[in-house]
Amino acid sequence: MRRTPFELAAVATAAVPGLTPTAAASAPDDAADFDSALLLDSEGKRWRVRSPRHPEASARLETEFMILRAFAPAIRAELPFLMPTVAGTVRQGALSTFVYAHLAGAKRSIEELSTCSDALAKEIGAALAAVHDLPQSLVNNADLPSYTANEFRQRKLNELDQAATTGKIPPALLRRWEHALEDVALWRFNPCVVHGDLHEDNLLIDGDNVTAVTGWTDLRIGDPADDFAWLVASNEQSFVESVLRHYTEARRDTPDGHLLRRSALLAEFALAQYLVKALAAGHSDMTAEAEAMLKSLADDIEEQNALAAEEADAAAAELAAADALAAPAVVMASEAKASEGDSAKPTVSVTAIPEPVHEDVPKARPETDAATPSVTVEPLEEAASGEAVVERAADSGNGIDSTPEVPSESDDTSTTALQVVEPAPLQDAKDH
């Protein structure tokens, strides 16, 4: 049962002694996890109340409270944005409700952010860089999760196995994600402090400024790509590139070259995580929504792969046509004869071998070998064949050998290029 803003205002008075609310309104939040409200007190100050709907959500708020306390004033002062401050908390049974001091700024949709100015993209990039450059001791001292690159990859493989047991993930997506997770080269990165739950709802914007970052429930040491997944899901390449450019300029460490590829994978995989969460909660509407999004993703990827294959075939045909135009046109004597269309000739006929003109024609055997063919062939009733034999014999008698040198098979250094097709980013599913 949901709590109304006025009920949350009453709870807030117990959490913050002396607080006298005069107005209350609902606040946007993760609907499946929290009831939230904005309050105005008698002194004109604003407050935010978050009340968890189940024990897991309550544990997340308690974790965030512990994390926020780990941010000493000196660390907060170095950040280019504000962080939440807990004004009070009250426990009711197994659930804890928290009251926060109000932070300036407003949330913007991903559509609004993806068309923002370069100044705001710079702010977002700088905010991401500031989080990733936080001292890792902050996480370690708070006894929060810490993963190496390989441990993070293995963790995702375990989550993939869990998602596969639902039987609701399209097989094409399971194969796609498994292949990506088994590509060790893709997962070579320097672990850093990551927000872990960064998306547009956890950014407060005022004009072209990022005023605050909220939602600090999943702080850990891990893959910086985690905090870029929501950006890649915006499907606005120019926006992503602008943020990444400013992020790279602001960071102390150089980002790895596979950052956005892993971000795209994590954005896709978020749908599987959403499905698992919906099934665990027994929420039929969320489950149906997750299944529909997974099917849509699989269809989009299949269509994109088909388009890429068509483009590759077209490019190969164009290259073959260009090679054909560049090659010299040579009319073989046997081909000229075949063009006359003698209906009495068998499907496959053997004629005298003309003088070779291409490098891929092997050298003629010595005369002693040619004189004793391994297969006896009845002579064809064409005069031209006899003439060709005479010409060949005459050339051989004169010591003329026009057969060019043929390179051995060991000289062949050709390789096959593998083309990796990046999937079009998908709008990430938000937790409800």
Query: Which residue matches tokens 């913050």?
Result: 16
Q: Which of 25-29, 113-117, 138-142 has the lowest mean pLDDT?
A: 25-29
pLDDT at 327: 58
Beta bridge partners of 25: 38
Closest CA to 362 of 406, 330, 392, 410: 406
Supply the pTM of this predicted model.
0.69
**Phi and psi, residue 106, nearest 5°:** -135, 155
- How many of the other CB atoms lie within 10 Å of CB of 400? 9
What's the one-letter identity of residue 58?
Answer: S
- The b-or-e profile of 87-96 (16+ CB within 10 A means b, else e) is bbbbeeeebb
Q: Report whether pLDDT(328) > 70.
A: no
> Residue 33: CB partners within 8 Å, gap ≥ 6?
52, 53, 54, 56, 57, 60, 431, 432
pLDDT at 266: 94
pLDDT at 312: 82
CA dist 272 to 53, 136, 156, 158, 160, Å? 23, 29, 11, 12, 8
Q: Is 145 left (phi over 0), alpha (psi -120 to 50) or beta?
A: beta
> Residue 424: CB partners within 8 Å, gap ≥ 6?
235, 300, 304
- Give the H/E segment covering residue 432: none
C-beta separation of 79 from 123 below 8 A: no
DSSP structure string for 155-197: HHHHHHHHHHTTS-S-HHHHHHHHHHHH-GGGG----EEE-SS
Q: Is 215 left (phi over 0), alpha (psi -120 to 50) or beta?
A: left
Q: What is the mean pLDDT of residues 352-381?
A: 47
Q: What is the pLDDT of the chain when averaged over all its residues?
A: 80
> Residue 294: CB partners within 8 Å, gap ≥ 6?
168, 169, 170, 173, 271, 272, 275
Give the span between the Cα atoms of 399 and 402, in whole angstroms.
10
- Give the H/E segment covering residue 58: helix 55-70
C-beta separation of 33 from 57 below 8 A: yes
Beta bridge partners of 220: 194
DSSP structure string for 285-324: HHHHHHHHHHHHHHHHHHHHHHHHHHHHHHHHHHHHHHHH
Q: Which residue has the higher pLDDT, 259 or 319?
A: 259
Question: Which token pair is 273?
Answer: 């995580």
The sign one gets for the Cα dihedral 13, 15, 19, 25 is negative
Strands 95-101 and 192-194: unpaired
pLDDT at 169: 93
Q: Report whether pLDDT(371) > 50.
A: no
Q: Which residue has the higher pLDDT, 402 or 14?
A: 14
**For 190-199, how does the pLDDT look when each residue is reduced to its tens digit (9 = 90+)?**
999 999 999 9
Alpha helices in 209-258 (DSSP H): 229-232, 237-250
> Residue 68: CB partners within 8 Å, gap ≥ 6?
83, 84, 85, 86, 216
Alpha helices in 115-170 (DSSP H): 118-132, 137-141, 149-164
pLDDT at 305: 79
Going by pLDDT thresholds of 50, 70 and 90, the confidence category of residue 46 is very high
Query: Which residue matches tokens 């079009």?
Result: 424
Q: What is the mean pLDDT of residues 228-245?
A: 91
Query: Which residue matches tokens 């092997």?
Result: 362
> Residue 289: CB partners within 8 Å, gap ≥ 6?
278, 429
Q: Is 282 left (phi over 0), alpha (psi -120 to 50) or beta?
A: left
- Give the H/E segment covering residue 370: helix 367-370
Question: Which token pair is 307?
Answer: 């388009």
Give the whole-number percent of the chain exceeding pLDDT 70: 75
Q: Which of 238-242, 291-295, 353-357 has the lowest mean pLDDT?
A: 353-357
pLDDT at 416: 35
> Residue 429: CB partners within 8 Å, gap ≥ 6?
270, 271, 274, 289, 290, 293
CA 370 centroid distance within chain: 62
